[in-house]
Amino acid sequence: MPKLHDLYTAQLRHAHHYHEVLSEANESFLKGGNSSLEGLALFDRDRTNIEHGQRWVSKNMDDDSAAQQLCNSYPISGCAVMSLRLLPRDQIYWIEDALGVARRLKDRESEGKHLGNLGNAYFTLGEIRTAIKCYDLALGFNQESKDIRSEANTLGNVGIAYAALGKNGKAVEYHMMAL
């Protein structure tokens, strides 16, 4: 019978390995063309193990700094494929756990990314006002870190959200800022 420490180490290795697989699938997807299909196929093939790894790090994030780092990183590393392969509520679960870890670690850059991605998930659910709140919080982190690209993307997302609410003047204002 394996020792408890050995089992924990094996589970951490599993979570780390499938975090790498998720990252590889996401990077492949972002290349475009046939690579996008290969990235999605990789995610689909290993989805059960990827999800198991994420659940394990979420469950163990209070006990282990390596699990915290992985929990913080899972939704960022798989952002693009997650948006296509996970239901928005599942994305929210992953992101909220990661957001909590980012706050504990005082990782402000990750906190901003998580808030932006949380806004995207809420937007997909049609919860536009909640999405805008997330985007507004993310903007502060984008500006603080001087991440101009993320700031522009977030401003564009706010513009899209206001357009969805029929507030076209406000939408144009945010799109102009994004430019």
Q: Is the pLDDT of residue 156 over 70?
A: yes
Kindly report the average pLDDT of the chain as a whole number.
95
Percent of the chain with pLDDT over 90: 89
Query: For 13-64, how does the pLDDT look when each residue is reduced to its tens digit (9 = 90+)?
Result: 999 999 999 999 999 999 999 999 999 999 999 999 999 999 999 999 988 8
Give pTM, 2 decimals.
0.91
Is residue 2 predicted with pLDDT exceeding 80?
no
In this predicted model, what pLDDT tens digit does every residue of 107-120 receive, in sequence order?
A: 999 999 999 999 99
pLDDT of the residue at 4: 64
Q: How far apart are CA 118 and CA 159, in angstroms?
A: 16
Checking if the pLDDT of 3 tops 80, the result is: no
The DSSP code sequence of the chain is: ---HHHHHHHHHHHHHHHHHHHHHHHHHHHH-THHHHHHHHHHHHHHHHHHHHHHHHHHHTTT-HHHHHHHHHHHHHTHHHHHHHS-HHHHHHHHHHHHHHHHHHT-HHHHHHHHHHHHHHHHHTT-HHHHHHHHHHHHHHHHHTT-HHHHHHHHHHHHHHHHHTT-HHHHHHHHHHH-
